[in-house]
């Protein structure tokens, strides 16, 4: 593989000083790239190792070019590396590019060619995605790691409960945060012996999750003071607020606050044609974890512990006239409204008034 990299680097140096477009299909170990000139002719096709050293040998000394690569696990750091070498980088959303996602002749080489040709014609055809900065990604990894522990704990708790039920017994308590070996004291001796290591693991995971909660709280206070603006809404804690800010990173990338709901996939899809306007499910685009957190926040706002506010009144009114699935639809709609409200507070820095719209309507009717 080393010989291939050296030969590819030599070929790259021989390419004339012209506007080049390069499609880069990323793989976990090897990536395939295709170099296209201004006339659309393929100048070079080759594999390269997916690491910084190999990429620098091939692309580091190359004149400023336009790179197109698919979004994926390696696209954040590779896009930053290529940008650091002075190249123009376009990260394509392959799910929206049918020539890539639904091609019948799909392989790495063909995908690289397609990326290069589309980027040469019009980059907007690739539905470019903007990656967050390295610092934001590093901070967000702490939240992602916590989420991984929560999923693991949930799986272990479900396993423990399922094993107990299959033996005709039940674990005491339903709070996963307090699941420990003491919960098995009322079980039969053989079941206690089987579940003790499992319950110890659950207790250990809960302790690690608490440590992450403290680190996330400290990170928000030290590096992201605007989290306090978002936490003014009851039902939005540090986890939701910080995840929201790190995922969006730049609030000014959205012209309107309502655009955030569409960006996070909380807006119903649309396929209108002629007189047909079918009701569709939400698109579920964007970050799934943040979307889940916003739905959890909406559930709290509409739940028994939510305080009286415009958002709660609007959601409950929507649920009343929603039919069989009215509550579910109201929760998703409230999450979409919540996403826009958080963006508005972040940009404006205003103090949150829970009943702002209701009071304004009362004053207007009284006048």
pLDDT tens column, 205-223: 999 999 999 999 999 999 9
CA 69-134-108 angle, 5° bins: 20
pLDDT digits (tens, 9 = 90+) for 5-19: 555 555 555 444 568
- CATH entry 3.40.462.10 includes domain 2-129: no
Structure tokens at 152: 């693991």
User: Three-state SS for 51?
Assistant: coil
356 pLDDT tier (thresholds 50, 70, 90): confident
Of residues 140 and 106, more confidence is placed in: 140
At 123, list the tokens: 């980059």
The whole-number pLDDT of residue 182 equals 83
Q: What is the pLDDT of residue 162?
A: 92
pLDDT at 310: 93
pLDDT value at 363 more than 70: no
Measured in whole angstroms, the distance separating CA 115 from the mean position of its chain's CA atoms is 23
pLDDT value at position 3?
47
Question: Is it the case that residue 176 has pLDDT exceeding 90?
Answer: no
Question: Within 13 Å, how many C-alpha atoms sit on residue 279's CB side?
Answer: 1
CB 209 within 8 A of CB 146: yes
For residue 1, what pLDDT is reported?
42
The percentage of residues in the chain with a pLDDT greater than 70, rounded to a whole number, is 87
| pLDDT-above-90 percentage for the chain | 65
- Cβ atoms of 30 and 47 within 8 Å: the answer is yes
Round to whole Å and give the CA distance between 240 and 217: 11
| Residue 49 DSSP one-character state | E
Average pLDDT, the chain: 87
The CA distances from residue 177 to 147, 180, 199, in Å, are 14, 9, 11
**What is the rounded distance in angstroms from the CA atom of residue 107 to the CA atom of residue 228?**
48
C-alpha span between 143 and 243 (Å, rounded) = 7
**Residue 352 in this model has a pLDDT that exceeds 80:** yes
Burial-class residue 31 by CB neighbours within 10 Å (0-12, 13-18, 19+). Answer: buried
Greater confidence (173 vs 243) lies with 243
Residue 138 CA, chain-centre distance (Å), reads 14
Mean pLDDT calculated for residue range 275-282? 68
Q: Which of 5-19, 101-115, 187-201, 202-216 has the highest mean pLDDT?
A: 202-216
Specify the pLDDT at position 364. Answer: 64
CA gap 217, 208 in Å, rounded: 14
Q: Is residue 145 over pLDDT 90? A: yes
How far is residue 217's CA from residue 80's CA, in Å, rounded to a whole number?
A: 28
Q: What token pair was written down for 321?
A: 């006239």
Phi, psi of 236 (to 5 degrees): -115, 110
β-strand partners of 88: 66
- How far CA 287 is from CA of 84, 198, 243, 246, 291, in Å, comes to 26, 32, 10, 11, 6
Q: Per the structure block, which two tokens stand in for 252?
A: 């000014």
pTM over 0.75: yes
Name, in order, each residue with C-beta under 8 angstroms of 186's C-beta and a sequence gap of 6 or more: 172
Smallest CA-to-CA distance from 179 within 162, 203, 195 is with 203
């Amino acid at each position: 593989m080393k010989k291939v990299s050296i030969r590819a680097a030599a070929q790259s140096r021989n390419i004339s000083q012209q506007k080049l477009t390069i499609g880069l299909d990323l793989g976990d170990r090897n990536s395939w790239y295709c170099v296209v000139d201004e006339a659309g002719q393929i100048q070079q096709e080759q594999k390269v190792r997916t690491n910084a050293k190999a990429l620098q040998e091939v692309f580091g000394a190359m004149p400023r070019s336009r790179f197109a690569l698919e979004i994926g696990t390696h696209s954040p750091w590779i896009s930053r590396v290529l940008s650091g070498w002075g190249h123009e980088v376009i990260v394509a959303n392959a799910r929206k590019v049918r020539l890539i996602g639904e091609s019948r002749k799909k392989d790495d080489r063909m995908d690289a060619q397609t990326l290069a040709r589309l980027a040469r014609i019009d980059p907007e055809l690739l539905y470019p995605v903007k990656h967050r900065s390295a610092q934001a990604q590093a901070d967000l990894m702490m939240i992602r790691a916590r989420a991984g522990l929560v999923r693991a704990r949930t799986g272990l708790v479900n396993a423990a409960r399922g094993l107990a039920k299959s033996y005709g017994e039940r674990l005491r308590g339903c709070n996963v945060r307090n699941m420990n070996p003491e919960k098995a004291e009322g079980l039969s001796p053989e079941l206690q012996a089987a579940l003790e290591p499992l319950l110890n693991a659950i207790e250990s995971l809960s302790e690690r999750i608490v440590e992450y909660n403290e680190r996330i709280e400290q990170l928000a206070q030290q590096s992201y003071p605007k989290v306090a603006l978002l936490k003014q809404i009851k039902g939005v804690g540090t986890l939701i607020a910080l995840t929201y800010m790190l995922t969006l990173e730049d609030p000014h990338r959205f012209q309107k606050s309502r655009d955030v709901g569409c960006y996070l996939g909380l807006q119903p899809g649309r396929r209108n044609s002629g007189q047909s306007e079918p009701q569709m499910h939400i698109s579920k685009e964007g970050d799934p974890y943040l979307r889940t957190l916003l739905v959890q926040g909406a559930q709290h706002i509409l739940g028994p512990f939510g305080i009286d506010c415009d958002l709660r009144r609007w959601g409950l009114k929507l649920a009343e006239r929603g039919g069989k699935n009215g509550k579910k639809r109201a929760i998703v709609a409230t999450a979409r409204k919540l996403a826009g409200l958080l963006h508005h507070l972040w940009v404006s820095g205003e103090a949150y008034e829970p009943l702002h719209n209701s009071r304004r309507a009362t004053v207007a009717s009284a006048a």
